[in-house]
Amino acid sequence: MFRLYTTLAVFLCVLGTVWGSLQDCLDVVDTNCPPEATTHVDQYFCDDKGRVYNGSCQLQEHFCRLTFFHNESFHLTKLGPNCDHPLYVAAVPRPLTSEETNLFASMVHGVDDRLKRTEAAGTTANVSKPIFSKQDHTHKVYQRNPHCWAHDLDLTPISPWNSYGKTRKAGTLLSPRHAVWARHYSIRVNSTLRFVDRHNNVVDRRVIKTRALYTNASAHQSFLFGHDMVIGLLDSDVPSTISFAKVLPRNFTVLMPSRERVRLPVFSTDFEEKALVADFSNMRGTMASLIEPITTSTRHKYYERKISGDSGNPSFFIIDDQLVFLFVFTFGGSGSGTSVQHNFNEINSIMEHLGGGYQLTEVDLSRFVSAAHVNALFGDHIFG
Ligand SMILES: *[C@@H]1O[C@H](CO)[C@@H](O)[C@H](O)[C@H]1NC(C)=O
Ligand SMILES: *[C@@H]1O[C@H](CO)[C@@H](O)[C@H](O)[C@H]1NC(C)=O
Ligand SMILES: *[C@@H]1O[C@H](CO)[C@@H](O)[C@H](O)[C@H]1NC(C)=O
Ligand SMILES: *[C@@H]1O[C@H](CO)[C@@H](O)[C@H](O)[C@H]1NC(C)=O
Ligand SMILES: *[C@@H]1O[C@H](CO)[C@@H](O)[C@H](O)[C@H]1NC(C)=O
Ligand SMILES: *[C@@H]1O[C@H](CO)[C@@H](O)[C@H](O)[C@H]1NC(C)=O
């Protein structure tokens, strides 16, 4: 019974052109280790029931091998007396599909390669978190920070300032004329929403209409849980030097990689306009949420707890070097909020009602996953 875990499991991992380390692999897989074990990254720590999942090592190895490409190996051994308890055996995981693997890999590389590159250049997290090295809101002078780990991404859909909340309340473009923010931290009509292009030119637009997601008051619904979004219409389109964020395909409404022990990185901003990283927890029903990365990971250096003032700031997957919008912050800690995917059709009808002539734009995932398989992707338990 114990043989699986007394046998050494070998992990092979790699990271494109930027050489990573063992930790890059552990950034992405979850060995189900409690914090006290994480200083021993090569050792498997059994929980208080001696619980390990049969096949999870193989799944993680598979995931690692498919999403990274640095040929480092390490040994995973059992650690601690709890491993001598009888194994609690969950189901054997199904292997990741090639569709899952390819999409996961793009998401992982989108963030982890950039963090690695930053680290390799000797830039600390504190220096590389700020998106701007200068933000003079009064004189409209902005300088994008060349040391920001996300500097080479197109971050222009993200508004750093508005005339109503100043650095608070955020605002993210979902079309050339529509922005999204949080209802509990809303921006008034006639406020100016500011964007900065990649060459630090400022583009200001006036918010001329807003509409929140529907909340059923007679059903005692709280808008905080799954309806905490406002769409604002701008007085005119932003120029093509300012981009808007795409969203996942419409049918992509359930996404639970953490349940499968797969850690996908998410890029978020806060009210200071820092580029932060957390792991995706899940999206199901009306909400989407993040979790803290493993504390010894590189990602964790870019992680911050979300605090009062961060509400309304956006979270994205980075897929094919594009921002794919997920939600805006309602709750703090790791951060969670209303799932854009759950409200896809309603947001489109709000955009239509407000005017402007645009709808949400789905990111093209066709090179990863066929349209027919979008529903199934991530929907099945890996541990059955
Ligand atoms: C783990 O799964 C493998 C593959 O299905 C099986 O051969 C093995 O007996 C399982 N081990 C335990 C301890 O259940
Ligand atoms: C890593 O392993 C792969 C597959 O065996 C091989 O093609 C590649 O050349 C190796 N890369 C390095 C840097 O050793
Ligand atoms: C990074 O900045 C934070 C907040 O200013 C500070 O507490 C921390 O000590 C800094 N870390 C390093 C390594 O400089
Ligand atoms: C917005 O400004 C217009 C024009 O000045 C004014 O008529 C309107 O009442 C204002 N709306 C709000 C909500 O302040
Ligand atoms: C709102 O909730 C009430 C009570 O549950 C229900 O009867 C009604 O159909 C709901 N309205 C909408 C538009 O969903
Ligand atoms: C999305 O889901 C709807 C409703 O289940 C279905 O009719 C449609 O074919 C799906 N679209 C794709 C691209 O799978």
**What is the chain's pLDDT, residue by residue, as a tens digit (384 residues)?**
222 222 222 222 222 223 334 444 444 444 443 333 333 334 444 444 444 444 444 455 555 555 543 333 333 444 444 444 434 333 444 566 777 778 888 888 899 889 989 988 999 999 999 999 999 999 999 999 999 999 999 999 999 999 999 999 999 999 999 999 999 999 999 999 999 999 999 999 999 999 999 999 888 889 999 999 999 999 999 999 999 999 998 888 888 776 555 678 999 999 999 999 999 988 988 999 999 887 767 888 999 999 999 999 999 999 999 999 999 999 999 999 999 999 999 999 999 999 999 999 999 998 887 766 655 555 444 333
SS3 38: coil
CB 251 less than 6 A from any atom of ligand 6: yes
CB 58 less than 6 A from any atom of ligand 1: no
SS3 210: strand
Rg (alpha carbons) of the chain, rounded to whole number: 21
Helix (H) or strand (E) holding 24, with range, is: helix 22-28
Residue to substitute in 213, 214, 218, 220 for testing ligand 5 pocket (most ligand atoms within 8 angstroms of CB): 218
Q: How far is the CA of 223 from the centre of ligand 5 (A)?
A: 14
Question: Considering only CA atoms, which of 320, 309, 258, 243 is closest in space to residue 288?
Answer: 258
> Hey, how many other C-beta atoms are within 10 angstroms of the C-beta on 10?
11
Show Cβ contacts of residue 299 under 8 Å, excluding neighbours closer than 6 positions.
27, 111, 112, 115, 265, 277, 278, 279, 293
Question: Considering only CA atoms, which of 224, 180, 194, 205 is closest in space to residue 327?
Answer: 180
Question: Considering only CA atoms, which of 72, 88, 78 is closest in space to residue 8?
Answer: 78
Among the bound ligands, the one closest to the CA of 219: 5
- As a whole number of angstroms, the distance between CA 131 and CA 150 comes to 8
CB 189 less than 6 A from any atom of ligand 4: yes
Residue to substitute in 126, 128, 298 for testing ligand 3 pocket (most ligand atoms within 8 angstroms of CB): 126
CB 126 less than 6 A from any atom of ligand 3: yes
Centroid of chain to Cα 163: 28
Return the pLDDT at 100.
76
Return the pLDDT at 94.
56
Q: Counting beta carbons within 10 angstroms of the beta carbon of residue 370, is it exposed (0 to 12), middle (13 to 18) or buried (19 or more)?
A: exposed
CB 55 less than 6 A from any atom of ligand 1: yes
Is residue 157 within 8 Å of 245, Cβ to Cβ? yes
What interhelical angle do 56-67 and 98-120 show, nearest 10? 60
Q: φ, ψ for residue 234 (rounded to 5)?
A: -90, 160
Q: How far is the CA of 156 from the centre of ligand 4 (A)?
A: 27
- As a whole number of angstroms, the distance between CA 374 and CA 282 comes to 16
- CATH for 100-378 is 2.40.10.10
Which numbered atom of ligand 4 lies nearest the CA of 188?
13
Is residue 244 within 8 Å of 157, Cβ to Cβ? yes
β-partners of residue 204 are 194
Closest-CA residue, ligand 1 atom 9, reads 1
Q: φ, ψ for residue 98 (rounded to 5)?
A: -65, -30
Going from N- to C-terminal start, the domains of the chain cover: 1-91, 100-378
Is residue 343 within 8 Å of 213, Cβ to Cβ? yes
β-partners of residue 315 are 268, 327
Q: How far is the CA of 375 from the centre of ligand 6 (A)?
A: 8
Long-range contacts of range 299-305, CB-CB < 8 Å, 24 or more positions apart? 299/27, 299/111, 299/112, 299/115, 299/265, 301/115, 301/125, 302/115, 302/125, 302/128, 302/129, 302/149, 302/275, 302/276, 302/277, 303/276, 303/277, 303/278, 304/270, 304/274, 304/276, 305/332, 305/333, 305/334
Q: Could you please report the per-residue DSSP string of 237-260?
A: PPPTTS---EE--TT---B-TTTT
Q: How far is the CA of 155 from the centre of ligand 1 (A)?
A: 47
Q: How far is the CA of 266 from the centre of ligand 3 (A)?
A: 22
* Tokens 């990254």 found at: 41
